Chain A
């Protein structure tokens, strides 16, 4: 499949042919052909793990390509290292900025530009940077230190650096992820100005709305392959969405390339009652109303987020990351307060940190929030209820070991000993420890965020089985995930978090199309009155 070919004789700014890259058995980028026209903004769309970032990392020389050719302005370029890409006029701005915090903007920009002279004229450099920033319409003081800048400011510095180097093609990896909503529009104007000045921009994103706002051309990747490429003017949201999420995709299919989903073709059929809505199985257990959390860069925060979950039900919370998932977990875990919001479990309103027999949380980042890696298995398993294992201030080592051994058996945790540190264990075993601890308090509500992230398929399946088992025992489960296939296969009902609120709910058997539309902020094709009521009285 080829990208849109330029009818004129001008060679494309970037021409990729047969690009391929595997990581072990996983083909991350599969025979991609792509053309990016000069002076254009080209969107590269795809879900998480579709291969967008990998493809661009290969182009930029961060990963070696297995096969394929790269041409810049008609000249073949052999990119082995980033230096080759830079020499060819490419620049890449990553999601995580790579700048020295204590340098000033002028120093940063100058450093990144290979110079010939030994002497560095601070004043002249600052003047050049200020002039360049002015020409781009960027509000940047050359004497500001990087550490004083917001993430958006640092992003502007990286872009400024690329322009200062006179890069012909800028690759921006999810640039809007670090921007507050109000910063997005000026950012798009900047992209337009740079394109008008003849530079090409590849915009990696998964936000469909942005694409139609600024891009000249759109390419879609799915499971490592480029499945669609067209000028924006000649396509529609529906068409792009169709390529992004093929309607034919069966429910909960296993994706050999990216993932981890255990096939559950009859997730809904297995629990016929659960698909009907909250409480159809065991009455409403968790009710969340009007949660709010401030918006941080890269996230929309929470804005009037409401939903409810029945006992013995898994409510999947789907959504593009950064739409409030992190805040939702923190509020449910009692780590952050929600002004005006209400969380009730079995009709009893909770404030502050919920008791562990009410709500237990498996946080998204198990290394950061879930585990203390250098503590032992025993210690990690009891960290949130140490009081149960303490007599006169002394830890009851025997009881800890006994219960840890039981948990290791029950959850199939592979470890040399219950007194080995958690750090040496595989991600799957670590996640089982977090889950075992959460469930050991017999919580009424289990909140799981990104349950299988980074796990191999076997471990992911085992973790999901545990979550289903908890559901079958009557626990209300909130399953927050960014892998839609997984969310659909595990959940009885799916709610979509967009812009910090639940914008739609449907039985998991509904299929992907409606859910995906909600995820990108548009209405599904079906009639609006089919949407479940959002504000139960």
Chain B
């Protein structure tokens, strides 16, 4: 037997915050600072203020010019029209996945399957936007693609709900493993049955122009970004203002009491996971119809897990998720340009960009501890 021990992810999760973990009881200044961090924008600013000097030192250590790297970062995010556009375009898929995750997590369901659901959503978008669109009138191309994406993503997540209700299988494990099945199933399809004729890459045919999400202002910006904003508002309204949203939140906060008050737990479980997967599926459609126009091998650089991270960092709040998706989109945009123009190795670029994320996670952890202490 090998000495290597494989740690299942469930163990890693249970190793997180110890119950007895206490905040340092420091000075009043520290207390005030900690209270400030309860405001999400303060923690956002603080995260970047702290990471900037560390990042510059790291960049300098690779031999690149930190000043130039700073300029590139600004250009890639807020400094130029292209930077802003790229940030928005990179933010959209992450936001879709985050919104999907929020719906499930608010219901108390750990949907870790955003990646698989967006893969299946991309497949649904191709089937709707290419194959179905070929027999439909042109104006139905986009709706067919979007419906396909929501349907495929939703049903894929629904599998986890069925396993949970049928045999009590943990949706965390099932959704996680469904990621692999979805990713490789899609890869199989674009290597074989759905592969574009005469293509040297593993990719599908290009969707007809009628199925493309319209470009905006003559830039890379496309309607998927608008759709992401609309879905953000819809999810926020759904959770706070609709009966179903309240029922989902109630189940997520206290399943036992919800059952006692007669809420249909099983139906709500299925519903939450299907809606969650459907929204994640839109991330796939967004990529296929808005940026790539094909289903290409490796089209997702891990949107699924970034989306999940965004959902958690946003405290499961849709509008905060939108802001954080912009942050993540900007980080991706900057990392790409830093490598291309500033000569910063992409690995270092990601390390630098990862610092604020780690800080944000730390801050939200501190908030949780504070909240716990207040209640305790």
Show the binding face of A for B, using Cβ within 8 Å: 333-335, 353, 361, 363, 368-375, 379, 383-384, 386-387, 389-390, 393-395, 397, 423
Question: In the bound complex, do residue B260 and residue A369 qualify as a contact, i.e. CB atoms below 8 Å apart?
Answer: yes
Any A CB within 8 A of the CB of B257: yes
Contacts A368-B256, A370-B257 known; 9 new A-B pairs at CB < 8 A: A335-B260, A361-B260, A374-B253, A379-B250, A384-B261, A387-B243, A390-B243, A395-B241, A395-B243
| A393-B253 Cα distance, complex, nearest whole Å | 21
Give, as a whole number of angstroms, the nearest-CB distance from A481 to chain B. 19
Question: In the bound complex, do residue A383 and residue B242 qualify as a contact, i.e. CB atoms below 8 Å apart?
Answer: no
- From 320 to 373 in chain B, residues with beta carbon under 8 angstroms from any chain A beta carbon are none
Give, as a whole number of angstroms, the nearest-CB distance from B355 to chain A. 32
Hey, which chain B residues are within 8 Å of A368, CB to CB? 254, 256-257
From DSSP, what is the main secondary structure of chain B's interface residues?
Answer: helix
Chain A's closest residue to B254 (CB) is A372
Hey, which chain B residues are within 8 Å of A335, CB to CB? 259-260
Q: List 27 A-B contacts (CB under 8 A).
A: A333-B260, A363-B260, A368-B256, A369-B256, A370-B257, A371-B254, A371-B257, A372-B250, A372-B253, A372-B254, A372-B257, A372-B258, A375-B249, A379-B250, A383-B250, A383-B261, A384-B261, A386-B243, A386-B246, A393-B242, A393-B243, A394-B241, A394-B243, A395-B241, A395-B243, A395-B246, A423-B375
Chain B's closest residue to A353 (CB) is B262
Hey, which chain B residues are within 8 Å of A361, CB to CB? 260
Summed over the interface, the residue pairs from A and B with CB atoms below 8 Å come to a total of 58
Given A370-B257, A373-B254, does the pair A395, B242 have CB atoms closer than 8 Å? yes
Any A CB within 8 A of the CB of B36: no
Hey, which chain A residues are within 8 Å of B247, CB to CB? 386
Query: Of B242, B256, B257, which contacts A394 at CB under 8 A?
Result: B242
Hey, which chain A residues are within 8 Å of B30, CB to CB? none
Hey, which chain B residues are within 8 Å of A390, CB to CB? 242-243
Q: List the 5 closest A-B pairs by CB distance, nearest first.
A: A384-B261, A390-B243, A372-B254, A369-B260, A383-B261
| A500-B260 Cα distance, complex, nearest whole Å | 22
Any A CB within 8 A of the CB of B244: yes
Given A372-B258, A383-B263, does the pair A397, B241 have CB atoms closer than 8 Å? yes
Give, as a whole number of angstroms, the nearest-CB distance from A215 to chain B. 38
Hey, which chain B residues are within 8 Å of A394, CB to CB? 241-243
| A397-B241 Cα distance, complex, nearest whole Å | 8
Hey, which chain A residues are within 8 Å of B257, CB to CB? 368-372, 383
Show the binding face of B for A, using Cβ within 8 Å: 241-244, 246-247, 249-250, 253-254, 256-263, 375
| A369-B263 Cα distance, complex, nearest whole Å | 12
Hey, which chain B residues are within 8 Å of A371, CB to CB? 254, 257
| A397-B246 Cα distance, complex, nearest whole Å | 12
| A373-B249 Cα distance, complex, nearest whole Å | 11
Hey, which chain A residues are within 8 Å of B254, CB to CB? 368, 371-374
Query: Of B241, B242, B253, B375, which contacts A375 at CB under 8 A?
Result: B253
Question: In the bound complex, do residue A384 and residue B244 qualify as a contact, i.e. CB atoms below 8 Å apart?
Answer: no
| A370-B258 Cα distance, complex, nearest whole Å | 8
| A389-B244 Cα distance, complex, nearest whole Å | 12
Question: In the bound complex, do residue A379 and residue B260 qualify as a contact, i.e. CB atoms below 8 Å apart?
Answer: no
| A322-B180 Cα distance, complex, nearest whole Å | 48
| A394-B257 Cα distance, complex, nearest whole Å | 22
| A368-B253 Cα distance, complex, nearest whole Å | 11
Chain A's closest residue to B259 (CB) is A335
Interface centre among A363, A375, A390 (most CB of B within 10 A): A375
Chain A's closest residue to B258 (CB) is A372
Interface centre among A370, A371, A383 (most CB of B within 10 A): A383
Question: In the bound complex, do residue B243 and residue A383 qualify as a contact, i.e. CB atoms below 8 Å apart?
Answer: no
| A397-B243 Cα distance, complex, nearest whole Å | 11
| A65-B263 Cα distance, complex, nearest whole Å | 47
Chain A's closest residue to B247 (CB) is A386
Question: In the bound complex, do residue B260 and residue A370 qualify as a contact, i.e. CB atoms below 8 Å apart?
Answer: yes
Chain A's closest residue to B237 (CB) is A394
Hey, which chain A residues are within 8 Å of B263, CB to CB? 383
| A371-B255 Cα distance, complex, nearest whole Å | 10
| A373-B243 Cα distance, complex, nearest whole Å | 18
Given A371-B257, A374-B253, does the pair A384, B243 have CB atoms closer than 8 Å? no
Give, as a whole number of angstroms, the nearest-CB distance from A158 to chain B. 22
Hey, which chain A residues are within 8 Å of B243, CB to CB? 386-387, 389-390, 393-395
Chain B's closest residue to A379 (CB) is B246
Hey, which chain A residues are within 8 Å of B260, CB to CB? 333, 335, 361, 363, 369-370
Hey, which chain A residues are within 8 Å of B244, CB to CB? 393
Hey, which chain B residues are within 8 Å of A374, CB to CB? 253-254
Hey, which chain A residues are within 8 Å of B375, CB to CB? 423
| A423-B243 Cα distance, complex, nearest whole Å | 21
| A513-B214 Cα distance, complex, nearest whole Å | 84
Chain A's closest residue to B249 (CB) is A375
Give, as a whole number of angstroms, the nearest-CB distance from B258 to chain A. 7
| A387-B259 Cα distance, complex, nearest whole Å | 16
| A383-B253 Cα distance, complex, nearest whole Å | 13
Hey, which chain A residues are within 8 Å of B259, CB to CB? 335
Chain B's closest residue to A352 (CB) is B262
| A187-B260 Cα distance, complex, nearest whole Å | 35
| A353-B258 Cα distance, complex, nearest whole Å | 13
Given A372-B250, A374-B253, A375-B250, does the pair A383, B258 have CB atoms closer than 8 Å? yes
Chain B's closest residue to A393 (CB) is B242
Hey, which chain B residues are within 8 Å of A387, CB to CB? 243
Hey, which chain A residues are within 8 Å of B242, CB to CB? 390, 393-395
Hey, which chain B residues are within 8 Å of A375, CB to CB? 246, 249-250, 253
Chain B's closest residue to A329 (CB) is B260
Chain B's closest residue to A386 (CB) is B243
Give, as a whole number of angstroms, the nearest-CB distance from A229 to chain B. 40
Give, as a whole number of angstroms, the nearest-CB distance from B257 to chain A. 5
Hey, which chain B residues are within 8 Å of A389, CB to CB? 243
Give, as a whole number of angstroms, the nearest-CB distance from B279 to chain A. 17
| A303-B258 Cα distance, complex, nearest whole Å | 28
Give, as a whole number of angstroms, the nearest-CB distance from A446 to chain B. 15
| A474-B291 Cα distance, complex, nearest whole Å | 68
Chain B's closest residue to A354 (CB) is B262
Interface centre among B241, B242, B262 (most CB of A within 10 A): B262
Hey, which chain A residues are within 8 Å of B246, CB to CB? 375, 379, 386, 395
| A384-B244 Cα distance, complex, nearest whole Å | 13
Chain B's closest residue to A384 (CB) is B261
Chain A's closest residue to B375 (CB) is A423
| A339-B357 Cα distance, complex, nearest whole Å | 56
| A370-B253 Cα distance, complex, nearest whole Å | 12
Chain B's closest residue to A369 (CB) is B260
| A372-B106 Cα distance, complex, nearest whole Å | 13
Chain B's closest residue to A400 (CB) is B246
Give, as a whole number of angstroms, the nearest-CB distance from A480 to chain B. 15
| A379-B249 Cα distance, complex, nearest whole Å | 11
Hey, which chain A residues are within 8 Å of B261, CB to CB? 383-384
Hey, which chain B residues are within 8 Å of A370, CB to CB? 257, 260
Interface centre among A334, A379, A386, A423 (most CB of B within 10 A): A386
Give, as a whole number of angstroms, the nearest-CB distance from B42 to chain A. 23
| A169-B256 Cα distance, complex, nearest whole Å | 40
| A393-B246 Cα distance, complex, nearest whole Å | 11
| A390-B242 Cα distance, complex, nearest whole Å | 8
Chain B's closest residue to A368 (CB) is B256
Chain B's closest residue to A392 (CB) is B242
Chain A's closest residue to B374 (CB) is A424
Give, as a whole number of angstroms, the nearest-CB distance from B121 to chain A. 24
| A370-B259 Cα distance, complex, nearest whole Å | 10
Hey, which chain A residues are within 8 Å of B249, CB to CB? 375
| A313-B246 Cα distance, complex, nearest whole Å | 36
Chain B's closest residue to A370 (CB) is B257
Chain B's closest residue to A424 (CB) is B375
| A369-B254 Cα distance, complex, nearest whole Å | 8
Hey, which chain A residues are within 8 Å of B256, CB to CB? 368-369
| A395-B248 Cα distance, complex, nearest whole Å | 13
| A321-B259 Cα distance, complex, nearest whole Å | 23
| A324-B125 Cα distance, complex, nearest whole Å | 56
Interface centre among B254, B257, B259, B375 (most CB of A within 10 A): B257
